[in-house]
Amino acid sequence: MPKEELSWGRDRNPYNYTEVGERLKVKVKRIPKDGEFIFVSLRELKPNPWEKAKEVINEGKVMSGKVVDITEKGVIVELFEGLEGFVPKDEVSYDGSMPKKWENVNVKVLEFNPKAQRLILSIKETLPKPWEEYIKKHPVGSKVKGIVQRFEKASAIVDLGDVKGIIHRSDLSWKRPGRIEDVLKIGEEREFAVLGLEGKFVKLGLKQLQENPWELFLKKYKVGDRVRLKVVSMHPFGAFLEFPEGVEGLLPLSEVDNIKDIKVGDEVEVRIIDIVPHSKVTLSAKEETRVEDIVSEGGQSGFTLGELLKKHMKL
């Protein structure tokens, strides 16, 4: 009996199937003309493992198996005698480690095609996800250290050891964020706040390590307050002025008599005319028209209040 006729599997050791002197039931496959040897098969009397697989395997199912071979491209796992599946290298583990030959492992069925005798498995899909384990050890609000690895558009990827972190430009500062490259440098180690998960990344922030200036602002200011603020930037639509607490307010073109008279660094006396909490502050550099002044003007000129309001509102 040829060794390949012992089993549907790759175990070719005859001592694992019989003992010397034992009687076996086999199937005759070929009788040579010389009659010296009769070719028989033990395997042919066992059910084809791919037929059995149709009854017990489906995509997405998690099963146990044994590693029977390790190659450059991946790992071969035997689920039961004669049924082997292939685990691609990138589906073996999250950290690149490999199992040992004959080690028992759990696998998830990724692709199953019994007609083509194709079975693709994943060991990695049965393992705890590193980023989820990281969040368990470092919950939202924790402070962690990481090394800035690279920039991707308006975000930075941070090496946290076993997992990667990501920080977006909007989480760099409570002020209007600039370029991420102006705040972070590749290779530097920084402390970050854990904000949660974003796919396989741990979401990080820098501004969350500081008190939100909006909380301080809302306690101190209200609509109608007059303040003297410094101009921090100029734009075609107006100017941004900064409060001492770090919040910026917009002075629109429509709320200043001559925007050309203002430049970055100037201190301008303005009035708060609108507050959208945690979002925006609108300012005005125009003189406030008070009803008391209009009434006083009416008494001196003889005009009615309605006529004076129309005059001031240019109706």
Last residue of a domain, one of 182, 209, 236: 209
Lowest-pLDDT choice from 67-71, 191-195, 290-294: 290-294
Whether 93 and 69 share a structural domain? yes
Whether 62 and 108 share a structural domain? yes
Percent of the chain with pLDDT over 90: 61
SS3 track for 133-200: HHHHHCCCCCEEEEEEEEEECCEEEEECCCCEEEEEHHHCCCCCCCCHHHCCCCCCEEEEEEEEEECC
Last residue of a domain, one of 126, 160, 195: 126
pLDDT of residue 314: 43
Q: Average per-residue pLDDT in the chain?
A: 84
198 falls within a domain? yes
Whether 37 and 53 share a structural domain? no
Query: What is the phi/psi pair of residue 14, to 5°?
Result: -65, -25
305 falls within a domain? no
Full domain range(s) for residue 27: 3-45
11 falls within a domain? yes
Whether 174 and 204 share a structural domain? yes
CATH at 70 = 2.40.50.140
Concatenating the DSSP letter of every residue in 64-124 gives: EEEEEEE-SSEEEEEEETTEEEEEEGGGT-SSS--PPTT-EEEEEEEEEETTTTEEEEESG
Whether 31 and 62 share a structural domain? no
pLDDT value at 6 more than 90:
no
Whether 137 and 115 share a structural domain? no
| 112 closest CA partner among 57, 55, 51, 74 | 57
Band the pLDDT of 315: cuts 50, 70, 90.
very low
167 falls within a domain? yes
35 falls within a domain? yes
pLDDT of residue 51: 83
Last residue of a domain, one of 62, 97, 126: 126
77 falls within a domain? yes
Whether 111 and 149 share a structural domain? no
Whether 36 and 59 share a structural domain? no
Helix (H) or strand (E) holding 251: strand 248-252
pLDDT value at 112 more than 90:
yes
Tally of structural domains, the chain: 4
Whether 256 and 191 share a structural domain? no
pLDDT value at 43 more than 80:
no
What gap in Å lies between CA 94 and CA 198, rounded to an integer? 17
307 falls within a domain? no
Cα atoms in the 13 Å half-sphere on the side-chain side of 33? 0
300 falls within a domain? no
Q: Which residues pair with 231 in a beta bridge?
A: 241
Average pLDDT over residues 211-231: 93
